[in-house]
Amino acid sequence: MLNYQKIQENDLSQQVGVDVQLEQAQHFQPEQLNGRWGKLIPLQTLESDSTLFRSMWRTIERESNKGVWTYLPYDEFVFQVQLEGALKSNFALKHALHYLVQVGHQAIGWVGLINIREKDQVAEIGNLYFSDQLRQTTAATEVIYLLLEECFCKGFRKIEWRCDDLNEASINAAVRLGFLYEGTLRQDRIVKGKNRNTACFSMLDEEWKRISFAFQDWLKQDNFTVNRQQKTRLEEFMKQYPITGRLEKEIKERLMATVS
């Protein structure tokens, strides 16, 4: 049984959740996160004339898949000044931090830690743009691992992943990365003039203790060929670290009913 499933009785004989110790909570100060395949560079640590901004624009110019902008809350950037304005203003989002994804010397994507609620020790991974140079690469998975590890090490209790329930790529990514489907918020918001139902996923600190082992095993050098091709998929490593208390079968049936 995981902590969120535990209950206790108060002085009025009512059932309530268990007490939470908050002494480990830390104010989140973004730092550069380095992996073997890629890096996460916090936007707020970059100088206004950073070459990474220009590098990011070159990536946007070469983007071959126009569909990457469909489910983001903004359209494709058509001018460099427009892109740099969004990056330097943190996409005009409060309670959010953003990172550029750097592979080699090139910035080829970004990811946000948004809707940060330090009091509750909860945040959401979102506003994610992975270019065609980054999608379905080892670096793409590694940078999410780096961000999750940073969050849980800093005392977060829960990390969320929310997306349009029609965004199959994002849903598949959430499941593959070990997030658990919680449900769908109907008519949650209006995006680009269209209705959006929001599929909600999450990962808890207790779950991360086991999920992180799967990531670490997958990222080991001997799991990749000299051509950087994986030998064993991340999902197979996930199966080696099952999490007691997760109703996987029930949740997957609910998810399939939602997207079908």
For 82-101, the pLDDT digits (tens) are: 999 999 999 999 999 999 99
Average pLDDT of 139-167?
Answer: 97
Indicate if the pLDDT at residue 253 is higher than 90: no
Residue 244: what pLDDT? 76
Residue 130: what pLDDT? 98
Per-residue pLDDT tens over the stretch 55-84:
999 999 999 999 999 999 999 999 999 999
Block residue for tokens 């590098």: 55
Residue 142 lies in a domain: yes
Block residue for tokens 């598949």: 172
Indicate if the pLDDT at residue 236 is higher than 80: yes
In whole numbers, what is the pLDDT of the chain averaged over residues? 92
Higher pLDDT, 73 or 254: 73
* Residue 32: domain span: 26-259
Higher pLDDT, 254 or 193: 193
Residue 12: what pLDDT? 86
The number of distinct structural domains making up the chain is 1
Residue 99 lies in a domain: yes
Residue 120: what pLDDT? 93
Residue 170: what pLDDT? 97
Residue 7 lies in a domain: no
Indicate if the pLDDT at residue 256 is higher than 80: no
DSSP 81-132: HHHHHHHHTGGG-SS-EEEEEEETTEEEEEEEEEEEETTTTEEEEEEEEE-T
Question: Is 100:108 a contact under the CB 8 Å cutoff?
Answer: no
Residue 97 lies in a domain: yes
Which residue from 40, 42, 148 is spatially nearest to 102, judged by alpha carbons? 40
Block residue for tokens 């829960």: 158
Residues 6+ apart with CB under 8 A from 153: none
Length of the chain: 260
Residue 23: what pLDDT? 61
Give me 54's structure tokens.
Answer: 């220009």
Torsion-angle region of residue 11: left (phi > 0), alpha (psi -120 to 50) or beta? alpha
Give the C-alpha separation, 226 to 51, whole Å: 31
Residue 21 lies in a domain: no
Indicate if the pLDDT at residue 26 is higher than 90: no
Indicate if the pLDDT at residue 124 is higher than 90: yes
Residue 8 lies in a domain: no
Indicate if the pLDDT at residue 45 is higher than 70: yes
Domain containing 38 — which CATH number?
A: 3.40.630.30
The pTM of the full predicted model, rounded to 2 decimals, is 0.90
Question: Is 142:149 a contact under the CB 8 Å cutoff?
Answer: no
With the CA atoms of 208, 214, 219 and 225 taken in that order, what torsion angle do they form, in degrees rounded to the nearest 10?
-160
Residue 4 lies in a domain: no
Block residue for tokens 């609910």: 254
Residue 210 lies in a domain: yes
What is the amino acid identity at position 82? Q
The Cα-based distances of 86 to 60, 81, 105, 185 in angstroms read: 13, 9, 21, 28
User: Taking the CA of residue 31 as centre, how many other CA atoms within 13 Å lie in the half-sphere pointing to its CB?
Assistant: 12
Give the C-alpha separation, 38 to 153, whole Å: 20
Question: Is 232:239 a contact under the CB 8 Å cutoff?
Answer: no
Give the C-alpha separation, 177 to 168, whole Å: 14
Indicate if the pLDDT at residue 152 is higher than 80: yes
Higher pLDDT, 157 or 259: 157
Give me 14's structure tokens.
Answer: 């009512």
Q: In percent, how much of the chain has pLDDT > 90?
A: 80
